[in-house]
Amino acid sequence: MLNSIKAFFDEKLANPTAEELMPASKTQIACAALFIEVMKADHELDEREKSELVALLRDSLQVREEDIQDLMQLGQEEADRATSLYGFTRLINDEYSYPQKLQLVQGMWRIAFSDKKIDMYEDHLIRKISDLIYVSHTDFIKAKIIARES
Protein backbone atom coordinates (compact mmCIF):
# COMPACT_ATOMS: atom_id res chain seq x y z
CA MET A 1 0.00 0.00 0.00
CA LEU A 2 2.68 2.48 0.94
CA ASN A 3 4.69 1.95 -2.23
CA SER A 4 1.76 2.68 -4.54
CA ILE A 5 0.73 5.75 -2.51
CA LYS A 6 4.34 6.99 -2.52
CA ALA A 7 4.59 6.47 -6.28
CA PHE A 8 1.34 8.37 -6.79
CA PHE A 9 2.59 11.29 -4.69
CA ASP A 10 6.00 11.26 -6.37
CA GLU A 11 4.38 11.44 -9.79
CA LYS A 12 1.55 13.88 -9.07
CA LEU A 13 2.89 16.01 -6.24
CA ALA A 14 6.61 16.25 -6.87
CA ASN A 15 7.03 19.92 -5.95
CA PRO A 16 8.11 21.31 -2.57
CA THR A 17 4.75 22.92 -1.79
CA ALA A 18 2.89 19.63 -2.25
CA GLU A 19 3.10 18.77 1.46
CA GLU A 20 0.04 20.94 2.04
CA LEU A 21 -1.90 18.90 -0.54
CA MET A 22 -0.91 15.45 0.69
CA PRO A 23 -3.58 14.98 3.42
CA ALA A 24 -6.34 15.76 0.93
CA SER A 25 -4.77 13.41 -1.59
CA LYS A 26 -4.54 10.61 0.98
CA THR A 27 -8.20 11.06 1.78
CA GLN A 28 -9.03 11.07 -1.91
CA ILE A 29 -7.38 7.65 -2.19
CA ALA A 30 -9.26 6.44 0.89
CA CYS A 31 -12.57 7.73 -0.49
CA ALA A 32 -11.91 6.17 -3.89
CA ALA A 33 -11.14 2.84 -2.22
CA LEU A 34 -14.34 3.01 -0.15
CA PHE A 35 -16.39 3.88 -3.23
CA ILE A 36 -14.83 0.91 -5.04
CA GLU A 37 -15.61 -1.36 -2.08
CA VAL A 38 -19.26 -0.35 -2.43
CA MET A 39 -19.13 -1.08 -6.16
CA LYS A 40 -17.73 -4.55 -5.49
CA ALA A 41 -20.08 -5.36 -2.60
CA ASP A 42 -22.82 -6.84 -4.80
CA HIS A 43 -20.27 -8.82 -6.87
CA GLU A 44 -21.55 -7.17 -10.07
CA LEU A 45 -19.55 -4.38 -11.68
CA ASP A 46 -21.99 -2.21 -13.56
CA GLU A 47 -21.03 0.58 -15.98
CA ARG A 48 -23.54 2.86 -14.25
CA GLU A 49 -21.64 2.40 -10.98
CA LYS A 50 -18.36 3.19 -12.71
CA SER A 51 -19.86 6.31 -14.28
CA GLU A 52 -21.14 7.41 -10.87
CA LEU A 53 -17.68 6.81 -9.38
CA VAL A 54 -16.07 9.03 -12.02
CA ALA A 55 -18.67 11.75 -11.37
CA LEU A 56 -18.07 11.57 -7.61
CA LEU A 57 -14.31 11.76 -8.00
CA ARG A 58 -14.59 14.73 -10.34
CA ASP A 59 -17.38 16.66 -8.63
CA SER A 60 -17.28 15.76 -4.93
CA LEU A 61 -13.56 15.19 -4.47
CA GLN A 62 -12.41 17.76 -7.09
CA VAL A 63 -10.04 15.32 -8.77
CA ARG A 64 -8.63 16.69 -12.01
CA GLU A 65 -9.89 14.92 -15.12
CA GLU A 66 -6.37 13.75 -16.04
CA ASP A 67 -5.94 12.16 -12.58
CA ILE A 68 -9.25 10.30 -12.37
CA GLN A 69 -8.09 7.08 -14.04
CA ASP A 70 -4.91 6.98 -11.95
CA LEU A 71 -6.87 7.54 -8.75
CA MET A 72 -9.42 4.86 -9.72
CA GLN A 73 -6.63 2.38 -10.38
CA LEU A 74 -4.85 3.26 -7.15
CA GLY A 75 -8.11 3.06 -5.21
CA GLN A 76 -8.80 -0.35 -6.75
CA GLU A 77 -5.33 -1.61 -5.81
CA GLU A 78 -5.68 -0.34 -2.25
CA ALA A 79 -9.18 -1.83 -1.91
CA ASP A 80 -7.89 -5.18 -3.21
CA ARG A 81 -4.97 -5.17 -0.76
CA ALA A 82 -6.88 -3.98 2.28
CA THR A 83 -7.66 -6.53 4.95
CA SER A 84 -10.03 -4.18 6.75
CA LEU A 85 -11.71 -0.82 6.34
CA TYR A 86 -9.86 0.64 9.31
CA GLY A 87 -6.98 2.21 7.35
CA PHE A 88 -9.40 4.08 5.11
CA THR A 89 -11.83 5.12 7.83
CA ARG A 90 -9.01 6.26 10.11
CA LEU A 91 -7.87 8.70 7.40
CA ILE A 92 -11.43 9.94 6.98
CA ASN A 93 -11.83 10.42 10.74
CA ASP A 94 -8.51 12.26 10.96
CA GLU A 95 -9.08 14.61 8.02
CA TYR A 96 -12.81 15.05 7.43
CA SER A 97 -15.34 17.22 9.18
CA TYR A 98 -18.76 15.80 9.94
CA PRO A 99 -20.39 17.43 6.86
CA GLN A 100 -17.64 15.93 4.66
CA LYS A 101 -18.33 12.52 6.18
CA LEU A 102 -22.01 12.94 5.35
CA GLN A 103 -21.09 13.80 1.78
CA LEU A 104 -18.97 10.63 1.62
CA VAL A 105 -21.86 8.48 2.88
CA GLN A 106 -24.19 10.11 0.39
CA GLY A 107 -21.67 9.37 -2.38
CA MET A 108 -21.55 5.71 -1.38
CA TRP A 109 -25.35 5.61 -1.56
CA ARG A 110 -25.25 7.25 -5.00
CA ILE A 111 -22.99 4.45 -6.23
CA ALA A 112 -25.24 1.82 -4.66
CA PHE A 113 -28.39 3.33 -6.22
CA SER A 114 -26.80 3.90 -9.64
CA ASP A 115 -27.75 0.41 -10.85
CA LYS A 116 -31.34 0.93 -9.64
CA LYS A 117 -31.18 -1.70 -6.89
CA ILE A 118 -29.68 -1.89 -3.43
CA ASP A 119 -28.05 -5.18 -2.62
CA MET A 120 -28.05 -6.24 1.04
CA TYR A 121 -24.24 -6.36 0.96
CA GLU A 122 -24.06 -2.76 -0.28
CA ASP A 123 -26.43 -1.67 2.47
CA HIS A 124 -24.43 -3.55 5.10
CA LEU A 125 -21.11 -2.13 3.92
CA ILE A 126 -22.33 1.47 3.83
CA ARG A 127 -23.85 1.03 7.30
CA LYS A 128 -20.56 -0.39 8.59
CA ILE A 129 -18.49 2.44 7.10
CA SER A 130 -20.94 5.00 8.48
CA ASP A 131 -20.50 3.52 11.94
CA LEU A 132 -16.71 3.54 11.60
CA ILE A 133 -16.65 7.22 10.66
CA TYR A 134 -19.12 8.11 13.42
CA VAL A 135 -22.07 9.20 11.27
CA SER A 136 -25.30 9.05 13.25
CA HIS A 137 -27.99 6.61 12.18
CA THR A 138 -30.37 9.50 11.50
CA ASP A 139 -27.87 11.13 9.13
CA PHE A 140 -27.11 7.73 7.56
CA ILE A 141 -30.83 7.39 6.68
CA LYS A 142 -31.05 11.00 5.47
CA ALA A 143 -28.06 10.45 3.18
CA LYS A 144 -29.73 7.32 1.78
CA ILE A 145 -32.97 9.21 1.07
CA ILE A 146 -31.14 12.13 -0.56
CA ALA A 147 -29.12 9.79 -2.78
CA ARG A 148 -32.20 7.77 -3.74
CA GLU A 149 -34.09 10.92 -4.76
CA SER A 150 -31.25 12.38 -6.79
The pLDDT tens digits of the residues spanning 90-104 come to: 999 999 999 999 999
Q: What is the largest CA-CA distance in the chain?
A: 46
Q: How confident is the model at residue 19 (pLDDT cuts 50, 70, 90)?
A: very low
Distance CA 145, CA 150 (A): 9
Verdict on whether the full-model pTM lies above 0.85: no
CB 84 within 8 Å of CB 45? no
Distance CA 62, CA 64 (A): 6
Domains of the chain: 2-149 (1.10.3680.10)
Give the tens place of pLDDT for each residue, 96-133.
999 999 999 999 999 999 988 888 999 999 999 999 99
